[in-house]
A and B are shown apart, each in its own frame.
Chain A
Amino acid sequence: DAGVTQSPTHLIKTRGQQVTLRCSPKSGHDTVSWYQQALGQGPQFIFQYYEEEERQRGNFPDRFSGHQFPNYSSELNVNALLLGDSALYLCASSPGQIGEQFFGPGTRLTVL
């Protein structure tokens, strides 16, 4: 049983560009949450997707958007990249909105 997978592993972009990160949940999980982790800090909640809808959002601007597909996989899109968007982006899946979360290995984004 594959766990949570994320792609790509690493990504380098320049300011102003747009990026799309992808996440496949653990088998049997229907909920995906996204987090941003800056160096030396704890993960910060971006948003959660359930039944293909954004159900809850953290304190992130509209430049951060997402999507969940019928197979429960998800994408995180970030527009107009800023230097401060450089971080490790983590995806977690769970069985339902309040179930135990399991994390993928993350995508390390560098904005130059």
Chain B
Amino acid sequence: GIQVEQSPPDLILQEGANSTLRCNFSDSVNNLQWFHQNPWGQLINLFYIPSGTKQNGRLSATTVATERYSLLYISSSQTTDSGVYFCAVGLNTGGFKTIFGAGTRLFVKA
């Protein structure tokens, strides 16, 4: 089956720093989403980005579907950015299912 790999697995930043999170996937996908999971377990939608580039405030994302990767950029990080960031890909295999990566655990120090 499809493999979804996220890197780095863990990241510690000083407040104000920038970072890039990467998601590689091993097969063609129909869609791709980025989520932030807060300490209470809630998955918060960041981007729905099957291809192209999107920006939302300090966050932006780029998906290059032909090369099977997506990048999430966080600029001027804040302590509230701490948590786990997941990439999730959707694919049609007769029906439709979603596969999550293992996540990147981000800690932003004040």
A residues sitting closer than 8 Å to B (CB atoms) are 33, 35, 37, 41-45, 48, 55-58, 88, 90, 92, 97-98, 100-103, 105-106, 108
Contacts and interface: CB of A to CB of B under 8 A. Distances in A.
Interface in B4-51: 30-31, 33, 35, 40-43, 45, 48
Nearest to A98: B30
Contact of A42 (B41, B42, B96, B103): B103
B69 interface: no
A106 B97 contact: no
B98 A101 contact: yes
Nearest to B100: A42
A98 B33 CA distance: 11
Chain B residues touching A, majority SS = strand
Interface residues of B, number: 25
B52 interface: no
B57 interface: no
A48 B94 CA distance: 12
Nearest to B49: A100
A102 B44 CA distance: 8
Contacts, number: 63
B108 interface: no
Interface of B: 30-31, 33, 35, 40-43, 45, 48, 86, 88, 90, 92-103
A42 B41 CA distance: 11
Given A43-B86, A56-B93, A100-B33, A108 B41 contact: yes
Contacts of B99: 45
A103 B86 CA distance: 13
B96 A106 contact: no
B101 A105 contact: no
Chain A to chain B: the 7 pairs with minimum beta-carbon distance, closest first: A56-B95, A42-B100, A100-B48, A103-B43, A55-B95, A97-B96, A56-B97
Contact of B31 (A43, A98, A103): A98
A44 B41 contact: no
